[in-house]
């Protein structure tokens, strides 16, 4: 199968060990479908949804809290929108930069699960949760070159 360029949205998790995991639907659904991978307790997650009076698996306050908790544990959340990437990291340190650079090179060079990034000038908006949501912006190409 020949990889095709990503046209609209795509989503990924990068594990604390550096494994790239493509997300077919949305990030919270992936966590719900693979709780052991995230060491997530579904009962605790359900309680969060109940506290916020939100439907199970919806994208609201509970989802935001759960995603933030996972990112603070070392997971990296990546969402490619039509005109930019949104990336959440605990801290933009050498480890996170190395994982993001590897991801950027891989998805631009060979692709991931049949899709590749053709726009090397696509903005990447990186948010550090550990540093009070500090924002950084790099192009996809700059992200590839950050750590060799």
φ and ψ at residue 73, rounded to 5 degrees: -85, 0
CA dihedral 103, 33, 49, 67 (to 10 degrees): -10
Chain-centroid distance of CA 84 in Å reads 13
Mean pLDDT of 62-90: 97
- Give the C-alpha distances (Å, rounded to integers) separating 100 from 41, 89, 91, 125, 126: 27, 10, 12, 12, 10
Sign of CA dihedral 112, 114, 119, 125: negative
Question: Are the CB atoms for 50 and 44 separated by under 8 Å?
Answer: no
Confidence of residue 5 (pLDDT cuts 50, 70, 90): confident
Confidence of residue 147 (pLDDT cuts 50, 70, 90): low
List, for residues 29-57, the tens digit of each pLDDT value: 999 999 999 999 999 999 999 999 999 99
The tokens for 70 are 């996972």
Query: What integer pLDDT is reported at residue 59 of this predicted model?
Result: 92
Q: What percent of the chain has pLDDT over 90?
A: 84
110 has a pLDDT exceeding 90:
no
CA dihedral 29, 31, 32, 38 (to 10 degrees): 180
Nearest to 27 by CA among 60, 55, 65, 67: 67
Q: Give the start-to-end residue ranges of the domains of the chain.
A: 9-145
145 has a pLDDT exceeding 80:
yes
What DSSP line would sit under 54-106, residue for residue? --TT-SSHHHHHHHHHHHHTT-EEEEE-SS-EEEEES--SHHHHHHHHHHHHH
1 has a pLDDT exceeding 80:
no
Query: What integer pLDDT is reported at residue 64 of this predicted model?
Result: 96
148 has a pLDDT exceeding 70:
no
């Amino acid at each position: 199968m020949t990889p095709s360029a990503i046209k609209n949205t795509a989503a990924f998790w990068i594990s604390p060990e550096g494994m790239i995991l493509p997300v077919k639907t949305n990030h919270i659904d992936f966590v719900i479908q693979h709780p052991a991978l995230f060491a997530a307790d579904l009962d605790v997650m359900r309680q969060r949804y109940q506290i916020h009076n939100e439907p199970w698996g919806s994208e609201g306050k509970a989802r935001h809290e759960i995603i933030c908790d996972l990112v603070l544990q070392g997971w990296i959340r990546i969402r490619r929108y039509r005109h930019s990437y949104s990336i959440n990291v605990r801290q933009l340190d050498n480890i996170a930069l190395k994982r993001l650079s590897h991801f950027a090179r891989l998805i631009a060079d060979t692709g991931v699960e049949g899709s590749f990034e053709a726009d090397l000038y696509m903005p990447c908006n990186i948010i550090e949760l550990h540093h009070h949501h500090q924002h950084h912006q790099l192009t996809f190409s700059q992200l590839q070159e950050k750590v060799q």
